């Protein structure tokens, strides 16, 4: 093979290789472009999905709805009033609702049960201005809100939800009972709003995540607090001498966690706060002595009553048999003397009353017959 032919052959090979490389590069570019297009399409689809919550909402609300027709039929089935405003109670628990709605006509409600549904928000209760009790336990509520129109509300139960902060309830002047057990309360800041709720007397915050002993300062700022439940919180273990400390610092407390706070408990706790264990033991001994004395006095009184009853019965039996002259015991003689003296006193009183009446009658008759001058 000549040099010229060899060079031509090598040139052809190089050209072929260049063509193949161009084809490969073209394929790679096409693949990359295709992948970019697919990625862009996926991003667009994701954006569309993110930008279309109404569709998701519609899917979420595909369950039972609190429609006007449902409410009307519910009233019929439960023998309530067909006219919405005449009903003072509605039992709408265990229905599977996700939204509170269509209650505008039920303006006379005083008690509303919405327990164990799928409610996510407190809303659409502006027309229930006479509502006293609202039960929203066992739902999926994350926030206390939209309660400002319920000025007469006295009981609110939002236990077993997902509430992280107590808020927006200081606008309820008559709220006396708040049950917010089994939620997500954790820090002092989460319950700080309670210091503005001056009417609350019953507070259940059991089984939350409270762990800061400083919550005591918030509870001290509640002047009407009588019943408190903090069971199931870590803070119970972090407050030294928990029960005594709570009783001493919360002056109005009458029931703590699972049992009452008796007068003896308060006296012993206050003695402990002043004189330690020695002071508490001394106070407890004094209470026990008083209690024993009181019990003994009651027993003595019962024994005396029984003895007197027996003596009266014996006296009555003897009188019935005509043997009253045969009485020999000093006690029976005393009873006879007492009865005799009492009878004599009654006779004397009756005679004095009759004499006084006669004198009064004579004086009146004299005045009537006296000639006028």
Average pLDDT, whole number, for the chain? 81
Q: What is the largest CA-CA distance in the chain?
A: 188
Write the pLDDT tens digit of every residue in 259-311: 999 999 999 999 999 988 888 899 889 888 888 888 988 888 888 888 888 88
Instruction: Determine the straight-line distance between the first and last CA of the chain, rounded to whole angstroms.
Output: 188
Distance of CA 89 to the CA centre of its chain: 19
Least confident stretch, 17-26, 114-123, 169-178, 195-204:
17-26
CB 331 within 8 A of CB 311: yes
At 133, give phi and psi (nearest 5°). Answer: -130, 130
pLDDT for 159 beyond 70:
yes
Mean pLDDT to the nearest integer, 309-330: 73
Strand partners, 260: 255
Residue owning tokens 């009064």? 360
Rounded to whole angstroms, the Cα distance separating 320 from 104 reads 80
94: left (phi over 0), alpha (psi -120 to 50) or beta: left
Rounded to whole angstroms, the Cα distance separating 124 from 104 reads 8
pLDDT (0 to 100) of residue 337: 62
Write the pLDDT tens digit of every residue in 106-144: 999 999 999 999 999 999 999 999 999 999 999 999 999
Instruction: Give the homologous superfamily in CATH for domain 68-274.
Output: Ribonuclease Inhibitor (3.80.10.10)
Share above pLDDT 90 across residues of the chain, in percent, rounded to a whole number = 56
pLDDT for 15 beyond 50:
no
Is residue 322 very low, low, confident or very high in pLDDT (cuts 50, 70, 90)?
A: confident
pLDDT (0 to 100) of residue 300: 86
As given in the structure block, the two tokens for residue 131 are 């509502």
CA dihedral 97, 98, 101, 102 (to 10 degrees): -30
pLDDT (0 to 100) of residue 56: 39
pLDDT (0 to 100) of residue 27: 46
| Helical ranges in the chain per DSSP H | 3-50, 53-60, 68-77, 188-191, 215-220, 235-238, 242-249, 263-320, 330-369
Radius of gyration from C-alpha coordinates of the chain: 45
pLDDT for 187 beyond 90:
yes
Distance of CA 132 to the CA centre of its chain: 13
Domain ranges (residues) in the chain: 68-274, 275-323
pTM of the shown model: 0.66
């Amino acid at each position: 093979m000549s040099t010229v032919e060899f060079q031509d052959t090598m040139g052809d090979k190089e050209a072929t290789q260049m063509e193949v490389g161009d084809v490969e590069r073209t394929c790679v570019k096409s693949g990359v472009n295709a992948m970019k297009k697919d990625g862009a399409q996926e991003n667009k689809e994701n954006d569309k999905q993110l930008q279309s919550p109404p569709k998701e909402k519609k899917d979420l609300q595909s369950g039972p709805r609190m429609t006007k027709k449902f409410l009307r039929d519910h009233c019929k089935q439960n023998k309530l009033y067909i006219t919405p405003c005449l009903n003072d109670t509605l039992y709408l628990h265990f229905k599977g609702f996700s939204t509170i709605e269509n209650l505008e006509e039920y303006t006379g409600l005083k008690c509303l049960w919405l327990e164990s549904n799928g409610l996510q928000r407190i809303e659409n209760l502006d027309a229930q201005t006479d509502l006293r009790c609202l039960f929203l336990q066992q739902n999926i509520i994350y926030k206390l809100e939209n309660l400002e129109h319920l000025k007469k509300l006295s009981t609110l139960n939002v236990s077993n939800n997902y509430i992280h902060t107590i808020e927006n309830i200081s606008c309820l002047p008559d709220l006396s009972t708040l049950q917010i057990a089994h939620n997500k309360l954790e820090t002092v800041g989460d319950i700080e709003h309670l210091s503005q709720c001056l009417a609350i007397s019953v507070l259940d915050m059991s089984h939350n995540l409270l762990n800061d002993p400083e919550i005591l300062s918030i509870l001290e700022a509640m002047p009407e607090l009588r019943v408190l439940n903090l069971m199931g919180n870590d803070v119970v273990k972090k407050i030294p001498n928990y029960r005594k400390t709570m009783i001493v610092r919360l002056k109005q407390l009458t029931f703590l966690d699972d049992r009452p706070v008796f007068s003896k408990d308060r006296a012993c706790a206050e003695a402990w706060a002043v004189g330690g264990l020695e002071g508490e033991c001394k106070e407890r001994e004094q209470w026990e002595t008083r209690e024993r004395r009181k019990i003994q006095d009651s027993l003595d009184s019962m024994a005396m009553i029984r003895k007197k009853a027996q003596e009266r019965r014996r006296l009555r039996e003897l009188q019935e048999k005509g043997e009253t002259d045969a009485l020999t015991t000093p006690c029976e003689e005393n009873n006879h003397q007492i009865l005799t003296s009492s009878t004599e006193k009654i006779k004397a009183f009756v005679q004095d009353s009759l004499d006084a009446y006669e004198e009064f009658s004579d004086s009146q008759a004299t005045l009537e017959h006296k000639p006028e001058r």
